[in-house]
Amino acid sequence: MAARQVVYEGEGLTVDLRFDRMGTSNTICAAGQVLDKEATPSALGNTAVVLWTEEGQLLATTEANEFGEFQLEFPIRDRLRL
């Protein structure tokens, strides 16, 4: 699988995401950045980034740094929510 990059925009936020498969494992690495059109970049520091299934099962969580950047690793699954 080649890397995939997507941009999501909604409710004043933009999330830029890049997905990479970790070697031959069944793990995905998602690196991204959250941008808020109304806030200064430093205001996004410590913002919680949470990944869960559509059934509500928590898969991964992290915090964005002062630039809104974050990274998550999780098992390959369909229908995930960020």
Closest listed residue to residue 32, CA positions, set 81, 74, 71, 76: 71
Q: What is the pLDDT of residue 43?
A: 79
Q: What is the pLDDT of residues 4-63, one digit of tens each?
A: 999 999 988 899 999 999 888 899 999 999 988 887 767 778 889 999 999 999 999 999
The Cα–Cα gap between 38 and 62 comes to 22
Classify 81 as helix, strand or coil: strand
Tell me, yes or no, if the pTM score tops 0.75: yes
